[in-house]
Amino acid sequence: MSEDNKPEKAQSNAEQTARDAPMSLIQEIRENITLHRQPLKIQDLSEDVIINGIISEQTASILLKGFSKLSSRWLFMSIKPSDLRAQSPLLFGTCILAGLHITPSLHGSSTHQALYRHVHGLLSQAQSASAVSLDTIQAMLVFSMWDLRPTRDHDHGNSWLLSGTAAMQVMITTSFESLLQITNAQEQTRARDILRTWNLICLCQLQFSVGCGRPPVIASQYFDQCAKVLEFPCYNSRDELVLCGVDLYRTLWGLISSNIVQRDVPVWSEIEQLRKSQEHIYNLDSSEPLRFAYSCAYLILAHRTLQHIHESRPDNLGSCKATTEGNNLALFIEFSIYHARQILVLFLSMSDLTTCIHPAYENLLCSFAMVTLAEFVVHVPNIDEIIRLMEQCISHIQQGGKAEPVSKWSMNVIKQHVNGKNEMASLISESTEDTEPFIPALADSMTKSWVESEWNMDSEFPSLEDMFFGNVV
């Protein structure tokens, strides 16, 4: 080689090295997380919530059992929570913090506040690492699924943000192609845990994306990786339930992010085709969470159509009574009421699976169902049954220390409607025997046609997005 070509070759080698360096770093990170568990290290004793004096060993044991109960619907940790203490003080403390919800008397207490500050601090430190561990990602998942803060207000935006951050960490640190190539039994269990954690992160991110209207941070090809969990020989029906939930919310997000609004029939072919392909899962006795998600999807879609019809004819809605659109409006209202009731029934049915402590998203959608029933209260059949269901749902939410304020407000709206209706009936019965008895203005809205009654009260009834960001009564 001539001397003249040496500088060019040196420059070429330098450029190749520069290109290879980032890929080598990414590959090294992926191998650290995906293929090899880091050897156990002696942890800083200040990280341990028990040694640090925040909580006693006996109380920690009780709360860990509580976490096992409320998280038993999902499988994303092969290690027992009680064995986490030596391996990951962060995940150990996070499980205790989540398990605290089974004891309402501790919610918001000084113990809760101290525990939250400590564990949240550990999580913040762990997220700043160049490559986070699976234990850290699982802690982020728990924070995303349950509202662990000691306050009684709600900030669902944190769940969208944190689940998105967890997803980004997994996408950076995990080689999905390598997971199914592992033959070692112990590492195969770890690979399955990674996929189970990933699937739950995807589900959580999609749910809260639907709630706030913000797009998921996960690209389509990464959602496709969720199906890999079924290629493990030891997968079970709970893996299938989570996967079906991911498919359902992916479909729902595609529908609500589209410019097309379905206004003719309250049945979406995309949802029904998906359900038909997964009918064997929907029919399982343990598939209440999936049927709950199915009704949530339809309630959100029906509300979207109703809002679109309302906004497209804000000044002339009453004139559509005899039109096709007016008939469709009645169908969508009836459809919304049906699925809102189904959500309450399934919410109570699922309570046995989670010791009455539901994930934050399920509490949110249960409250959204109550708002829907209050919004269309004049069309709700069997109001006494609905009030009973709402009271039971609110009671179950409160067992976890929190209840959406809007759920209680919605129940009061319905009770006021019933009281007003009873007062009207009483006034009519006490009237004279005139052929046209006096009917007070209080009853006027109850004698209007369905297209006029209470439809223009939309400013009083928060949307799902309003509830998501806490802009509620």
Between 150-154, 247-251, 282-286, 408-412, the lowest mean confidence (pLDDT) is in 150-154
| Ordered alpha helix ranges (H), 257-382 | 269-277, 279-282, 288-312, 324-350, 360-375
Position 17, amino acid = T
C-beta of residue 335 within 8 angstroms of C-beta of residue 131:
no
What are the structure tokens assigned to 2, written together? 């001539």
Q: Is the pLDDT of residue 331 over 80?
A: yes
Q: Band of the pLDDT at 138, cuts 50, 70, 90?
A: very high
**Which is more confidently placed, 301 or 455?**
301
Spatial distance between the Cα atoms of 381 and 302, rounded to a whole number of angstroms: 18
The fraction of the chain above a pLDDT of 70, given in percent, is 77
Between 46-50, 87-91, 251-255, the lowest mean confidence (pLDDT) is in 46-50
| Ordered alpha helix ranges (H), 31-133 | 57-70, 84-87, 89-99, 110-127
**Which is more confidently placed, 42 or 344?**
344
The continuous run of DSSP H or E covering 244 comes out as helix 237-256
pLDDT tens string 284-319:
988 999 999 999 999 999 999 998 888 876 554 445
**Which is more confidently placed, 437 or 142?**
142
Q: Where are the domains of the chain?
A: 26-258, 262-473
Which residue reads 């950076």 in tokens? 172
pLDDT tens string 359-389:
989 999 999 999 999 999 999 999 999 999 9
C-beta of residue 189 within 8 angstroms of C-beta of residue 197:
no
State residue 213 phi and psi, 5-degree precision: 80, 10
Q: What is the dihedral of CA 143, 148, 152, 156, to 10 degrees?
A: 0
C-beta of residue 439 within 8 angstroms of C-beta of residue 424:
yes
Nearest C-alpha neighbor of 197 from the set 245, 155, 229: 229
What are the structure tokens assigned to 101, written together? 């919800």
**Which is more confidently placed, 442 or 365?**
365
Q: Highest-confidence range of 50-54, 294-298, 458-462, by mean pLDDT?
A: 294-298
Q: What is the dihedral of CA 135, 139, 145, 151, to 10 degrees?
A: 170
C-beta of residue 187 within 8 angstroms of C-beta of residue 42:
no
What pLDDT is attached to residue 299? 98
Question: Can you spell out the DSSP letters for 394-449?
Answer: HHHHHTTT---HHHHHHHHHHHHHHHHHHHHHHHHHTS-S-SS----GGGGGGSS-
What pLDDT is attached to residue 28? 43
> Which pairs count as long-range contacts for 231-240, CB under 8 Å and 24+ apart, including other chains?
231/180, 232/180, 232/188, 232/191, 232/192, 232/195, 234/192, 235/192, 236/75, 237/281, 237/284, 237/286, 238/73, 238/74, 238/75, 238/286, 239/75, 239/196, 239/199, 240/281
Position 20, amino acid = D
pLDDT tens string 194-230:
999 999 999 999 999 999 889 999 999 999 999 999 9
